[in-house]
Structure 1
């Protein structure tokens, strides 16, 4: 399929985010939001020298309250005005059936297994029971998604927008190969109701599925941005990009470096018109251990990437993803603030 010209990214991002600039230029104005948890004197502004710095709300996974209202307060407290929203805060706000499994416990065990760590017999049993409960819950959620109206997602969008925060991407667990077409359709409709220009998901590694997602995304006018970890290469997304102009990149620059790819800035330059958003973290190269470290201490060229985006007027947002270990005595909000300060210094 023939690719569009270089204004593709600018048009698609701005076209689905009407009012974005207005929402990002009001640092000094007053803020009023109904719930007391959201009270603040100023609206945030993380548009720096033309580069939109955002955050994925996954960064706040360690915080005790995971509600939509609390998540919004975390974002505002960081001084950030644009986000990639994980599915749970939005879906729970809309009344999704309660998960019988603590997601943090489940994903902690899953990460350990993926990393090749040996689990105890009790942990293996607990993980298996969690997976059974999660599977049953997934079926219940699929049924709920098939009937839930969009009213609460529109309401959530207004709450966030009134606080000065725009949702540019939505990441529910609704676009996998095990999800029904009805769930995928729901996810795209919900993204549109939230004001997002794109949804993000792990690249499925299946050409038929990316073909289907691209077609369904085009139907709704929502872009499908595929995320990758250490399987990312310069050609990782090529088949999906050729399949549909609605298939795109959710590049992860830190994982790209940890995968051992040479010249990580080149993929930004060569594919900037197909990048919808870029996850940003500081990871080391394989030679240095692939660690996920404090910003400025690893091998990821964050400063150079930000300056490349600024100098070439690329319009996709840069998404802070907090994945390094939070130092003792700190918390996710304080660490995201540090990442934002790093961006500000890099772009000054």
Structure 2
């Protein structure tokens, strides 16, 4: 476990030499403080975060991500695929992913300019070439590196309950899908997550492959979510599930969120939490407590009914001046903890 030992050595050195250490080691004292300390369950509700929340941090290595998680005080995560696969030796991409994410977000929100559209298309062309290289790498990748990554996270008191790699799309080969599910198992994840493909044949395929691997496939949605959005996939396989996003659900104008959670509680693998406004109020993604998403009510329902699926913090609002994603994830975690303590 060479990488694990090196990580812990760096964390220890960081306590006495943060001024000389890399950026990611700013969280080292928190790493040591939280070592083997599990605060995952708050009032019986499992709280975690998706590591996408830290996408604006400069260092996106798995070791850095773990440092951010510990500093934020979180002990359970939905892990994005890039840091995990790069830890396992995946070829590095030749451009800044943050630029790609930003442009994709603008496209989704219909705020993208013509020049930005051209830039996004150029990036997507680069992504296509890169994906071919990565697909070849996955054919011979060493799964034991994911065992090592799980151990590194566990040694720091962090559980990986979900995994979100880019291996489950319609353009991915069966070998890549198989690889993604085997990696999830090695990481200890109970389920993988992906954007709903809006393709019944593909959700059928993923569900059946998931049955073979003993994992679930949880489909995420944005503003296309409705009360019946997941019904076909759920009928296709017992291993198909929901990765419900309550903020997007409210921003879509739906008014039956609590009914949906009650109905599908046994098929929700995990649930993204963010605070968004209704269409009447502008659909904004806002600092928690300022929007229309009934976060506290949802958490209370989870507590009262002993729902076991995790509530996953997803940081998407604009970071306030003087703050950073780690601080804001911590604030969101404390918001949830306070809501549960008063429920």
TM-score by length of structure 1 reads 0.88
Partner of 1:112: 106
Which residues of structure 2 form unaligned runs of 5+?
1-6, 12-24
* 1:107-163: CA deviation from partner (whole Å, max 9, x where unpaired): 212222333235254x44433322211100000001111110111100000000010
Partner of 2:179: 186
Whether 1:96 aligns to 2:109 is no
Whether 1:252 aligns to 2:227 is no
Partner of 2:14: none
Name the SS of the counterpart of 2:56 in structure 1. coil
Structure 1 residue corresponding to 2:267, chosen from 268, 274, 285: 274
* 1:145-204: CA deviation from partner (whole Å, max 9, x where unpaired): 111011110000000001000000000011011111111000000000000000000000
Answer yes or no: is the 8 Å Cα contact 1:90–1:153 preserved in 2. yes
TM-score by length of structure 2 reads 0.89
The whole-number CA distance in structure 2 between the counterparts of 1:305 and 1:113 is: 30
Answer yes or no: is the 8 Å Cα contact 1:283–1:300 preserved in 2. yes
Structure 2 residue corresponding to 1:74, chosen from 46, 68, 77: 68
User: Higher mean Cα deviation, 199-208 or 103-112?
Assistant: 103-112
The whole-number CA distance in structure 2 between the counterparts of 1:94 and 1:345 is: 38
* 1:26-79: CA deviation from partner (whole Å, max 9, x where unpaired): xxxxxx934424541233513101101000000000111111011001111111
Name the SS of the counterpart of 1:276 in structure 2. strand
Name the SS of the counterpart of 2:258 in structure 1. helix
Answer yes or no: is the 8 Å Cα contact 1:33–1:162 preserved in 2. no
Partner of 2:33: 41
Q: Report the number of matched residues.
A: 316
The whole-number CA distance in structure 1 between the counterparts of 2:304 and 2:112 is: 47
Partner of 1:19: none
Partner of 1:298: 291
